[in-house]
């Protein structure tokens, strides 16, 4: 008798599976829209020539080659709270796909029971039952459940791309903070050196004032240079501490001081430029653009769900069981029972809400389309800006380095002439100010050069590894 249950279920499940497989989708056919940007990057005096055919898939280790920064990035990928939130959101999105997919499958349940009742005519009677079957399995003839599952799948893929965006941003932010620490350490040293020179100048001018050789205004000018350097010294000390605090926030743990850079030269040499390629097709690989396209696909599937709501819902119920007045009777001939039922439901009047839901889903799809287009256009602009910056960065650096060299040479010569009584105190102080300004400008330009390469890494989105990957 135990083999009779599959035999009875066979004619029930066969039409169920056939009808389910015959279901259709009312979602619009998805066609990727044309990119709302030119096919290639801008060219001209501000842009470097690019010969790479396409953006390579790179790891941050190929861009940031300093072992200290790599160690910090590894810690950040393991500890950063934003990345953990993104990973948790991704896990939840994947779980929701499984939840929705389960609605497409029959829910099979089993049960057993015993009922004891008493009557006035006779003694107590016990009824025994055992059953198993399918309860309210919806036949997805119009693709409502399939499209709902597809929408969740696309949303999960969007969440994965968003997690990669968080990861990419974390690495870039950490690299910027690391470079800022090096720049502020250099600016602190420059302020210290300038303050030392300014104190000597103040002492010399005060001595000359006491000897009647220098004017009181000369002392005041020297004290202004000293005060400026001392103010910058305090500001750079604060900035250096804040840089370390930011690095520790991004890493999510205390940072070994040995992993922090002290000069921009080593930082600049360890940050490589990511090739942009010649085609703007590479933008379609940016995580935020990918996420926007998956959300567009999910909105497209939601249109199919809303359209399916305009049609009747069909569901089947199948039950196979055993019933007898005694436990032993469950295993005797005649105890087997089976039930097959169907149900169709359709709302004759709902105030137009179903059709309104279709219009809502279509409007949301248009919103998703516009969002995707903006994401592509924004990505194009960001990459074009980064390429323009890189195209002129070498000329800017060469100019500021020449300026610093000339200012240093001028300051040295004027100082010698001043001590020899040929140049005035004002000339010497102006030379010191010019050198100090040139040195700070050179640090700013070298930092901007490093930041431009980090920005290109971020805006090209070439690092395709998943969140949490070391």
Does pLDDT of 2 surpass 50? Answer: no
Greater pLDDT, 182 or 465: 182
Q: Domain ranges in the chain? A: 32-104+140-311+356-460
Greater pLDDT, 52 or 253: 253
Q: In what order do the strands lie in the sheet with 125-139?
A: 108-117, 125-139, 313-324, 336-345
Does pLDDT of 68 surpass 80? Answer: yes
* pLDDT recorded at residue 465: 54
Q: How many CB atoms lie within 10 A of CB 130?
A: 18
pLDDT tens digits, one per residue of 233-247: 999 999 999 999 999
pLDDT tens digits, one per residue of 402-450: 999 999 999 888 888 877 777 777 787 888 889 989 999 999 999 999 9
Determine which helix (DSSP H) or strand (DSSP E) holds 242, and give its type and residue range: helix 216-251
For residue 110, with 0-12 CB atoms within 10 Å meaning exposed, 13-18 middle and 19 or more buried, which class applies? exposed
Backbone dihedral angles phi then psi of residue 67, each to the nearest 5 degrees: -60, -30
Phi-psi region of 334 (alpha: psi -120 to 50; beta: other; left: phi over 0): left
Model pTM score:
0.74
- For the chain, the first-to-last Cα distance in angstroms comes to 58
Place of tokens 């000329």: 395
What span, in angstroms and rounded, lies between the C-alpha atoms of 2 and 359?
Answer: 52
* pLDDT recorded at residue 20: 47
What span, in angstroms and rounded, lies between the C-alpha atoms of 183 and 191?
Answer: 12
What span, in angstroms and rounded, lies between the C-alpha atoms of 219 and 201?
Answer: 8
Residue 67 pLDDT grade (very low, low, confident, very high; cuts 50, 70, 90) = very high
Find the mean pLDDT for residues 121-127. Answer: 66
- Picking from 37-41, 282-286, 320-324, which range would have the lowest pLDDT averaged per residue? 37-41
| CATH superfamily ID and name for 32-104+140-311+356-460 | Outer membrane efflux proteins (OEP) (1.20.1600.10)
* Two structure tokens written together for 113: 């029971």
In 3D space, the residue among 296, 273, 283, 275 whose CA is nearest the CA of residue 39 turns out to be: 283
Q: Where are the beta strands (DSSP E) in 69-124?
A: 108-117
Residue 270 pLDDT grade (very low, low, confident, very high; cuts 50, 70, 90) = very high
Backbone dihedral angles phi then psi of residue 126, each to the nearest 5 degrees: -110, 130
pLDDT tens digits, one per residue of 374-388: 888 888 888 888 888
* pLDDT recorded at residue 43: 43
What span, in angstroms and rounded, lies between the C-alpha atoms of 11 and 13?
Answer: 6
What percent of the chain is modeled with pLDDT above 70?
71
Greater pLDDT, 319 or 243: 243
Find the mean pLDDT for residues 282-309. Answer: 80
> What is the bridge-based pairing of β-strands 336-345 and 313-324?
antiparallel
- Picking from 119-123, 152-156, 420-424, which range would have the lowest pLDDT averaged per residue? 119-123
Does pLDDT of 143 surpass 80? Answer: no
What span, in angstroms and rounded, lies between the C-alpha atoms of 89 and 71?
Answer: 26
Q: Yes or no: say if 343 and 314 are a contact pair by the CB < 8 Å rule.
A: yes
Residue 122 pLDDT grade (very low, low, confident, very high; cuts 50, 70, 90) = low
Residue 347: alpha-carbon gap to chain centroid: 43
Greater pLDDT, 361 or 462: 361
* Two structure tokens written together for 48: 């470097």
Q: What is the dihedral of CA 178, 184, 189, 193, to 10 degrees?
A: 160
Q: Yes or no: say if 457 and 272 are a contact pair by the CB < 8 Å rule.
A: no
HSE (side-chain half, CA atoms, 13 Å) at 345: 8
* pLDDT recorded at residue 404: 93
* pLDDT recorded at residue 403: 94
**Adjacent-strand bridge partners of 129:** 113, 323
In 3D space, the residue among 291, 28, 293, 300 whose CA is nearest the CA of residue 151 turns out to be: 300
pLDDT tens digits, one per residue of 187-204: 999 999 888 888 887 787
- Picking from 98-107, 123-132, 224-233, which range would have the lowest pLDDT averaged per residue? 123-132
């Amino acid at each position: 008798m135990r083999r009779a249950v599959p035999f009875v279920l066979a004619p029930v499940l066969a039409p169920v599976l056939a009808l389910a497989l015959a279901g259709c989708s009312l979602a619009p056919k998805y066609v990727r829209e044309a990119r709302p940007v030119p096919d290639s990057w801008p060219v001209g005096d501000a842009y470097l020539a690019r010969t790479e055919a396409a953006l390579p898939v790179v790891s941050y280790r190929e861009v940031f080659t300093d072992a200290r920064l790599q160690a910090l990035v590894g810690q950040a990928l393991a500890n950063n709270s934003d990345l953990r939130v993104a990973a948790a959101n991704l896990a939840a999105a994947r779980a929701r796909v499984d939840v929705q997919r389960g609605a497409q499958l029959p829910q099979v349940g089993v049960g057993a029971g015993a009922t004891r009742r008493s009557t006035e005519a006779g003694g107590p009677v016990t009824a025994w039952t055992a059953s198993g079957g399918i309860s309210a399995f919806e036949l997805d003839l119009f693709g409502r459940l399939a499209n709902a599952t597809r929408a969740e799948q696309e949303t999960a893929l969007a969440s994965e791309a968003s997690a990669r965006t968080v990861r990419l941003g974390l690495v870039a932010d950490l690299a910027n903070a690391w470079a800022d620490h090096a720049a502020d350490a250099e600016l602190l040293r420059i302020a210290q050196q300038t303050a030392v020179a300014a104190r000597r100048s103040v002492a010399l001018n005060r001595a000359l004032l006491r000897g009647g050789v220098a004017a009181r205004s000369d002392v005041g000018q020297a004290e202004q240079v000293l005060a400026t350097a001392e103010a910058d010294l305090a500001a750079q000390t604060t900035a250096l501490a804040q840089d370390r605090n930011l690095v520790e926030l991004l890493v999510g743990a205390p940072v070994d001081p040995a992993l922090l850079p002290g000069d921009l030269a080593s930082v600049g040499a360890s940050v490589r430029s990511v090739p942009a390629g010649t085609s703007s097709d590479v933008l379609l690989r940016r995580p935020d653009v990918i996420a926007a396209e998956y959300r567009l696909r999910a909105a497209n599937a939601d249109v199919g769900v809303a359209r399916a709501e305009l049609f009747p819902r069909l569901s089947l119920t199948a039950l196979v069981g055993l019933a007898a007045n005694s436990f032993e009777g469950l295993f005797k001939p005649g105890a087997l029972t089976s039930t097959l039922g169907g149900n169709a439901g359709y709302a004759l009047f709902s105030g137009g809400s179903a059709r309104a839901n279709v219009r809502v889903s279509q409007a949301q799809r248009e919103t998703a389309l516009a969002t995707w287009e903006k994401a592509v256009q924004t990505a194009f602009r960001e990459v074009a800006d980064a390429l323009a910056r890189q195209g002129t960065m070498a000329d800017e650096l060469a100019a500021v380095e020449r300026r610093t060299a000339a200012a240093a040479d001028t300051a040295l010569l004027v100082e010698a002439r001043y001590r020899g009584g040929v140049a005035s105190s004002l000339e010497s102080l102006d030379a010191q100010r010019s050198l100090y300004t040139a040195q700070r400008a050179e640090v700013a330009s070298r930092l901007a050069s490093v930041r431009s390469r980090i920005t290109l890494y971020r805006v090209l989105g070439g690092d395709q590894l998943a969140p949490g990957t070391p």
